[in-house]
């Protein structure tokens, strides 16, 4: 793999100030920068889609392109980052686009032109955040250059599009569907799905970095996004070509929202004992009956990944099959939204199936593979929810540091007292350890090593418990103000509390770890 980098600056003349000898010919660079300048003049103040006309652009447009060329194949994956002109003046904006560009017979000229559409399709956001934040949430230790770039995009989105609205969404129980679709514009709707179906084609560690940065802005929002990504993974990995074309490519852009239906009113931790039935008919279709509980996004989501029992005579786990069910199918209904402690910016309901006819082409995988599919999805889901805990705890720690440095008691700031310093030090240590465990588990899942399931369970157990403790300590450091909704501390505690319950309780995580130890996979 070779990497070619271009860094240029253009004013009115796209070729002014371009460095020489960077690996692209002058006409190629002209095509890209001229297109980029035109795009900026037409609507560069937001997402490159003409949302308002920018002022005359007399300042340079710094941009950088990195092209990762996989020599043995016939495609190039291009990743572009840039800074865009805003009416208000220069503000750092990050945009990332990815696309597969044909190499054969195209040449650098068409490749360069194709980059324009890559960038045009990517969203750019003004990064009005402060880079002086001491939070380890944005720690770059051990990250690749591309991971740092994706993290910056996610962080900018979180601090501009999520954090300013998080408290209001929580208070009004608003499900921000439009904002989810904005996140999908950045490639966050199908982070580890194939690019052919609109995915970003990244790995689990990349996703962990992105989700941590997003959760720094809003835990509940990001948690739903991780569930949607898990559903995309199920179809990307086990779905048929028809299912990928009909559902997946509309899910990765979040035209279709999705929910994951495994848990039932009478089967929580013992998921293999689920009772929802799917009876096969003579024409190959299935009739579903049963109910699923605690379903995130239920009632709003368009498609549901449902685990149902197709063989009641088989051992518990072996008789389960996976299906795609659409919201508007006859017999699908939803209970009233649950009243919850946290995660209030996403709906949670019971989903009921009453003689729902599911066509044969909506079965995912083979009969009896449903439990395996569910567990493979949950390995990644456990990493995802753990990294949401890390992002939320990082924000809690930053908030506590800011508060204790400005709040004075007994004539000096709270952070000058040793008791406060020790609490902050313990929180920072636990946060760093949690992050490392999550990223280690993500690498294990990417590498498909034998201990990956145990690594995911360890990371989920440790990070969700530790990060909740961090958030609770940070609330305590706020004193009485931490208990008020005027400060974010109480909301973070409420949102993080459920993380030790869902995607398998932390008690079940211990069962999994012990089982894998017996199998000598740990």
Question: pLDDT value at position 141?
Answer: 79
Cα separation, 177 vs 302, in Å, equals 12
Beta strands in 9-102 (DSSP E): 63-69, 75-82, 85-86, 89-90, 93-95, 97-102
Q: What dihedral do alpha carbons 383, 385, 387, 391 form, nearest 10°?
A: 180
Whether residue 367 lies in the annotated active site: no
* pLDDT band, residue 250 (cuts 50/70/90): very high
The single residue listed with the structure tokens 């079965």 is: 363
Kindly report which listed range (63-72, 155-164, 254-263, 349-358) carries the lowest average pLDDT score: 63-72
198 has pLDDT over 80: yes
Instruction: Please tell me what DSSP assigns to residue 49.
Output: S
Cα separation, 367 vs 194, in Å, equals 24
Determine contact, residues 223/388, Cβ cutoff 8 Å.
Answer: yes
Q: What is the mean pLDDT of residues 230-258?
A: 98
Query: Which one, of 106, 113, 120, lies nearest residue 50 by Cα?
Result: 120
Q: What is the mean pLDDT of residues 352-370?
A: 98
Name the average pLDDT for the chain: 80
Determine contact, residues 38/91, Cβ cutoff 8 Å.
Answer: no
Length reported for the chain: 522
Cα separation, 484 vs 491, in Å, equals 9
Scanning 407-451, the segments in alpha helix (DSSP H) are 418-447
220 has pLDDT over 80: yes
Determine contact, residues 235/222, Cβ cutoff 8 Å.
Answer: no
Question: pLDDT value at position 521?
Answer: 63
* pLDDT band, residue 140 (cuts 50/70/90): confident
The one catalytic residue among 402, 503, 507, 516: 503
* pLDDT band, residue 268 (cuts 50/70/90): confident
Determine contact, residues 467/392, Cβ cutoff 8 Å.
Answer: yes
Q: Token digits for 408?
A: 């004075």
Q: Which residues pair with 354 in a beta bridge?
A: 289
Scanning 309-363, the segments in alpha helix (DSSP H) are none
158 has pLDDT over 50: yes
All domains of the chain in start order, with CATH = 2-126 (no CATH), 136-251 (1.10.540.10), 258-371 (2.40.110.10), 377-518 (1.20.140.10)
Kindly report which listed range (126-140, 404-418, 498-512) carries the lowest average pLDDT score: 126-140
Question: pLDDT value at position 520?
Answer: 78
Question: pLDDT value at position 522?
Answer: 64
Q: What dihedral do alpha carbons 319, 323, 328, 330 form, nearest 10°?
A: -40
Q: What is the mean pLDDT of residues 455-464?
A: 98
Q: Which residues pair with 141 in a beta bridge?
A: none
Q: Token digits for 106?
A: 């195209």
Please give the backbone phi and psi of residue 182, each rounded to the nearest 5 degrees, phi first.
-65, -40
Determine contact, residues 216/394, Cβ cutoff 8 Å.
Answer: yes
Q: What is the 3-state secondary structure (H, E, C) of 34-79?
A: HHHHHHHHHHCCCCCCCCCCCCCCCCCCCEEEEEEECCCCCEEEEE
pLDDT tens-digit profile of 75-123?
Answer: 333 333 333 322 222 222 333 333 333 443 444 344 444 444 444 443 3
Kindly report which listed range (14-18, 151-155, 206-210, 498-502) carries the lowest average pLDDT score: 14-18
Determine contact, residues 80/39, Cβ cutoff 8 Å.
Answer: no
CB-based burial label for 356 (10 Å; 0-12, 13-18, 19+): buried
Question: pLDDT value at position 127?
Answer: 32
What are the residues whose beta carbons fall under 8 Å from the beta carbon of 168, sequence distance 6 or more? 174
Helical (H) or strand (E) element with 228: helix 219-238
pTM of the model: 0.78
pLDDT tens-digit profile of 286-304?
Answer: 999 999 999 999 999 999 9
Q: Token digits for 469?
A: 């403790």
- Give the 3-state secondary structure of residue 180: helix
Cα separation, 52 vs 175, in Å, equals 27
Cα separation, 225 vs 212, in Å, equals 12
- pLDDT-above-90 percentage for the chain: 71
Q: Token digits for 274?
A: 């689920």
* pLDDT band, residue 328 (cuts 50/70/90): very high
């Amino acid at each position: 793999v070779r990497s070619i980098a271009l860094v240029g600056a253009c004013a009115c003349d796209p070729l002014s100030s371009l460095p020489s000898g960077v690996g692209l010919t002058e006409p190629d660079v002209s095509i890209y920068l001229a297109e980029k300048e035109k795009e900026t003049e037409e609507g560069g103040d937001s997402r490159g889609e003409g949302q308002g006309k920018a002022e005359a652009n007399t300042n340079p447009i710094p941009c950088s392109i990195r092209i990762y060329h996989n020599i043995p194949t016939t495609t190039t994956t291009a990743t572009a980052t840039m800074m865009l002109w805003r009416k208000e003046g220069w503000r750092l904006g990050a945009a990332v686009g990815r696309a597969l560009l044909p190499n054969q017979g195209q040449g650098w000229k068409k490749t360069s032109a194709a980059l324009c559409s890559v960038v045009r399709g990517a969203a750019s956001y003004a990064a009005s955040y402060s880079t002086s934040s001491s939070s380890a949430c944005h720690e770059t230790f051990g990250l690749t250059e591309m991971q740092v770039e994706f993290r910056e995009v996610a962080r900018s989105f979180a601090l501009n599009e999520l954090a300013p609205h998080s408290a209001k969404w929580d208070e009004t129980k608003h499900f921000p569907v439009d904002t989810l679709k904005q996140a999908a514009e950045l490639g966050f709707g199908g982070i580890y799905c194939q690019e052919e179906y609109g995915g970003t084609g990244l790995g689990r560690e990349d996703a962990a970095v992105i989700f941590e940065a997003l959760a720094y802005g809003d835990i509940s929002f990001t948690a739903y996004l991780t569930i949607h990504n898990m559903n995309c993974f199920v179809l990307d990995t086990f779905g048929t070509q028809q299912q990928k074309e009909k559902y997946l490519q509309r899910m990765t852009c979040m035209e279709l929202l999705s929910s994951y239906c495994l848990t039932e009113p009478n089967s929580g931790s013992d998921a293999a004992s689920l009772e929802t039935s799917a009876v096969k008919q003579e024409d190959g279709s299935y009739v579903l009956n049963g109910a699923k509980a605690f379903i995130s996004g239920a009632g709003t989501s368009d498609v549901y990944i449902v685990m149902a029992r197709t063989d009641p005579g088989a051992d518990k786990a072996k008789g389960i099959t996976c299906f795609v069910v659409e919201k508007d199918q006859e017999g699908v209904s939803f209970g009233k939204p649950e009243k919850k402690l946290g995660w209030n910016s996403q709906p949670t309901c019971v989903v009921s199936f009453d003689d729902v006819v599911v066509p044969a082409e909506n079965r995912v995988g083979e009969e009896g593979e449903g439990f395996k599919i569910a567990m493979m999805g949950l390995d990644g889901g456990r990493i995802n929810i753990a990294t949401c805990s890390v992002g939320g705890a990082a924000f809690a720690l930053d908030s506590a540091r800011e508060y204790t440095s400005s709040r004075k008691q007994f004539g000096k700031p709270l952070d000058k007292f040793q008791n406060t310093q020790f609490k902050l030090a313990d929180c920072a240590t636990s946060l760093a350890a949690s992050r490392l465990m999550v990223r280690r588990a993500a690498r294990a899942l990417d590498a498909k090593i034998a201990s990956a399931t145990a690594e995911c369970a360890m990371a989920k157990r440790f990070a969700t418990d530790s990060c909740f403790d961090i958030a609770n300590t940070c609330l305590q450091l706020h004193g009485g103000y931490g208990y008020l909704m005027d400060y974010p501390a109480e909301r973070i505690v409420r949102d993080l509390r459920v993380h030790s319950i869902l995607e398998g309780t932390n008690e079940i995580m211990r069962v999994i770890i012990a089982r894998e130890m017996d199998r000598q996979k740990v």
